[in-house]
Structure 1
Amino acid sequence: MKLTLSENIRSFRKERKMTQEQLATVLGVTVGAVYKWESGLSVPELDLIVEMADFFDTSVDVLLGYRINDNRLDSIVSRLYTYSRTLDPAGIVEAEKALAKYPHSFKVVFACADLFLTYGANSKDSRFIRRALELDEQARVLLPQNDNPRISEANIIHNMSIAYYELDEKEKGVELLKQHNVLSHFSYEIGSTMAVFMNQTEEAVQYLSEALILGMSHMLCATIGFVFVYCSRGDWDSALNIVTCCNNLISELRVDDQPGYMTKTHAEVLLLLAYVSWKKGLMEEARDALREAARLTNLFDSAPEYSLKSMRFIEHAEYTNAFDTLGPTAAESIEHMLNLLDDPFFTQQWKEILNLEQ
Structure 2
Amino acid sequence: MNKYIQKFINNIILLHTLLVFIMLVFFDCILSYQRYLDLQKTRENLAKRVIENIELSIKTTGIYQSKPQDIFYLIIDNKNKVMSSNVSINKDLIEKIIQSKEKKFQFAGLAFRKISFEDATLGHIQIIAAYSLNEIYKNIAYFFGIALVISLFIVALYHRISYVLSQKWSTPLLSLYKTTEEFLDTVAHEVLTPLAYISLISEDERIKHSIDRIKNILNGILEIKKFDVTKQEGKSEINIKILIDTILQELNFALNLKDIRLKLNIEDAKITTYQNIFYILLRNLIDNAIKYNIEGGILLIESNLGDKHLYLKVENNYQQSDTDINSQALHFGKGLGLYLVYKTLNILNGDIEITTTKNTFRATVKLPFYFS
Q: TM-score, normalised by structure 2?
A: 0.21
The structure where helix makes up a greater share of residues is 1
The structure where strand makes up a greater share of residues is 2
- For CA contacts below 8 A with separation 6 or more, give which structure has more relative contact order: 2
Structure index of larger Rg: 2
